[in-house]
Structure 1
């Protein structure tokens, strides 16, 4: 009976945590909403990415946004979806997403006011986890764009291959034609 209750509790925990994980795919340049809900009366709410170290994506503490240790690539690009955070809405909007924004975003909250920390990086488990994938928008024909240096390099390589192939074909043709004319004398 105890084993059954243990497995049931574990299954429920896994279901709850799995329902919190999301995958979002966006085109470069779009705005994306990172959705999260939490209980009301939150003292601190932090959106972070593990690869940012001690810096964060967004931090809300004591009734206002804080940008002191915000990672420079997110400054001016992240805002609360609902400034009053009604019904526990901890969602943020990430504006003008870029390929470098790819990654797993986690939302952590702290409800009580004990042991206030000066820095972010809450040591609580994330209540939401979102993997953001960012792709280039399709070109005018609907096919993915090849941008900048990659397109230039591919174009140059293809051109070089065609020129070399034409030259080699011409040399072989001339050599073959020369052998034929020598053999007919």
Structure 2
């Protein structure tokens, strides 16, 4: 195997690495300090479309909502009790599709995976369906602890993957030299 023969493999490995790193970086992970407010970002496409509903859920809450907006206002029915009077949209007018959620006075119990869904319809359409726009993992540090010392899971995974690929490339490049 010649060094020139490994170039396509090197390019393929590099391509796979960048795909994996970009998918890791697309995941939204937010860390907040206990007792503070945090904004969970979500932006719906706004191309000549009206937002008819916004649903924020947490994956472990089953049928209860974190926040639900419909019929031009907040709908408290089926809201999980722990979020009562602690959540609101960052922009109630939802300009530019901004349906980010503000969560006030967070505690470690607020840690979890949040999902933002938006129902939109064009001005000439009757039906609007809820579409998943954003998934965010929120980690709340206990009082007195910050997330500075803790590693970011996505970054650790990306760096580990890079190290494996670099080792593989070095092995492939050096292998022909050892055979000669």
Range into which the TM-score falls when normalised by the shorter chain: 0.5 to 0.7
2:80 is the counterpart of 1:54: no
SS in 1 for 2:60: helix
Unpaired segments ≥5 residues, structure 1: 1-10, 117-121, 140-185
TM-score normalized by the length of structure 1: 0.58
Task: Give the aligned length.
Answer: 121
Alignment of 1:23-172 (within 5 A): 23-40=29-46, 41-112=50-121, 113-114=126-127, 122=130, 124=131, 126-138=132-144
CA distance in 2, matches of 1:90, 1:78: 12
CA distance in 2, matches of 1:130, 1:63: 25
CA distance in 2, matches of 1:52, 1:39: 27
Q: State the Cα RMSD in Å.
A: 2.6
Moved over 2 A (4+): 17-21, 112-116
Cα distance, 1:94 vs. partner? 0.1
Structure number with greater CO (CA < 8 Å, separation at least 6) is 2
Residue by residue over 1:135-174, the C-alpha shift from the partner in whole angstroms, topping out at 9 and shown as x without a partner, is 12327xxxxxxxxxxxxxxxxxxxxxxxxxxxxxxxxxxx
